[in-house]
Amino acid sequence: MQDQESSGRWDSLGSRDANSRIEAMENIHLEVMRKVEAIGPIPAPAPSPPASGSPPSSELNHILAHLLMLSKRCPFEDVRERCIRLLQSVQDLGVRIPRPLGNGPSRFIPEKEILQVSKVDARTQSIFEDAFAALGRLDNISLVMGFHPQYLESFLRTQHYLLQMDGPLSLHYRHYIGIMAAARHQCSYLVNQHVENFLHFGGDPKWLNGLGEAPQKLQQLGELNKILAHRPWLLTKEHIERLLKAEEHSWSLAELIHAVVLLTHYHSLASFTFGCGIMPEIHCEGGHTFRPPSLSQYCVCDIANGNGHANHHDDPFGNEVSGKGRCVEVLMERMKQLQECRDDEEASQEEMATRFEREKTESMLVVTAEDEECVPPRDISRHFEDPSYGYKDFSRRGEHVPTFRVQDYSWEDHGFSLVNRLYPDVGQMLDEKFQMAYNLTYNTMATHKDVDTSMLRRAIWNYIHCMFGIRYDDYDYGEINQLLDRSFKIYIKTMVCSPEKTTKRMYESFWRQFQHSEKVHVNLLLMEARMQAELLYALRAITRYMT
């Protein structure tokens, strides 16, 4: 499978021409059968086979895992069916085939709901086919985002441009920066994805031994990565100057903009990955096993992740499970009352500023779940320095961080043009993606239709920016407490600030009556609001350096 001819066969499975796919599958079938025959006679299975039994050939293992992934994830039904038949043929010859670990792309969302999306939406199916043709796979993040095809299209276009198209940074540098960014949040899903791509684009395997093995230029990005991921309000023009004036290891302004966009993209994508409970890809480590199923049908990881029976009735946030938390009708009534109050009277600027400070202070009292140190595993922590450095509220320990007023430096008036000038087209793509997440609506809330959700979407976006010390002068922060209840705030803060601590119970505890597609929409909002907040601090620091 390593040579170009073999690689071309797998690529052809993404063709929109059915005959090309059939021919490719026939060639793959012959190749697999040759490898099975090369193993020699397969002994008859013992009455109770050893749990660790697996095919003798690691290359065959790899191919069978790839076929399993295609049988579940390929958007073309004919390829899925042929992969199932081929795996069955291999099993009939006595070779143990892999089975998936877990149930679907997400630990939080039933697989049938996710996979149903492309069956009923032709546009989503077309996007999935394009993504599969470009990458040779359809990853779990895209499948979950498929609830919102308009957004998914914008997301994939932006990510493809950042990673594949012409830009200031070489391709292997881009993936290494992706590894650095995802590692800050211990996101092994994204780290593993970029390790694979880094090596594919000719990256030096030694760099993967740890950040200390990477070039000095990339090592210097470690400080920026750390601050942006956890405390972006501490970023100054001096940090920027150190990167741009490092003699032979200096970054150019264009390279730095590209790096900043990649770092913020993957910090926020790590939030989405944990917030939606994204599972490892089927063909990757942790996504499949050659072991037979256990008697209980539960693997240890399911129980640890809250998928066992015993965990479904506990609620650490004190909500009555049967009571559905704050019901949709109450939330809709609050929105209506707030709109009427807005129409009747307008608070003074002084009162608005006071309400922002109050909400900012209250956001610090919202404790993320399991508020303790998470020690990252060695294979993740080696990609960054100072693993003990994490999110800390900006006004603790007597620190006073001035409020970032959007009127003084906004994405629309300042950040957008800076990015577009130094990295053409990216500013436009990011702007479309931000707007898509912010304005996306189907005018529904749970089972209710024809609902204007703009007030709720704005409250969520502005609450996240408030946690980062960013203030909109024209927004009444008193609305946030009316619309976002405590369990929802805990979920938001954990997912945005310490996403590696997000749990299934937290996901289930907010907005119990809402559909999974609506919760995924919330996660898109959180991801984009976080990315924009980080970008604003980084771009403001770069602007201050330039002036």
Q: Which residues are catalytic?
A: 187
Structure-token pair, residue 306: 């809250």
d(CA 485, CA 508): 14
CA 359 to chain centre: 27
Q: Give the H or E element holding residue 207.
A: none
Pairing of strands 99-100, 288-289: antiparallel
DSSP, collapsed to helix, strand or coil, labels residue 278 as strand
Phi-psi domain of 42 (left: phi exceeds 0; alpha: psi -120 through 50; beta: other): beta
DSSP, collapsed to helix, strand or coil, labels residue 332 as helix
Structure-token pair, residue 157: 């276009």
User: Could you tell me the end-to-end alpha-carbon distance of the chain, in angstroms, rounded to an integer?
Assistant: 54
Over the Cα atoms of the chain, what is R_g? 25
Q: What is the sign of the dihedral through the CA atoms of 253, 254, 255 and 260? A: positive
Q: Annotate 356-375 with b (16+ C-beta within 10 A) or e (fewer).
A: beebbeebeebebbeeeeee
d(CA 547, CA 544): 5
434 close to 464: Cβ distance less than 8 angstroms: no
Q: Tell me, what DSSP letter sits at residue 106?
A: B
Q: Which amino acid is at 529?
A: A
Q: Tell me, what DSSP letter sits at residue 307?
A: -
d(CA 384, CA 296): 39
Q: Which amino acid is at 403?
A: T
SS (H, E, C) 233-273: HHCCHHHHHHHHCCHHHCCCHHHHHHHHHHHHHHHHHHHHH
Q: 404: which strand partners?
A: 470
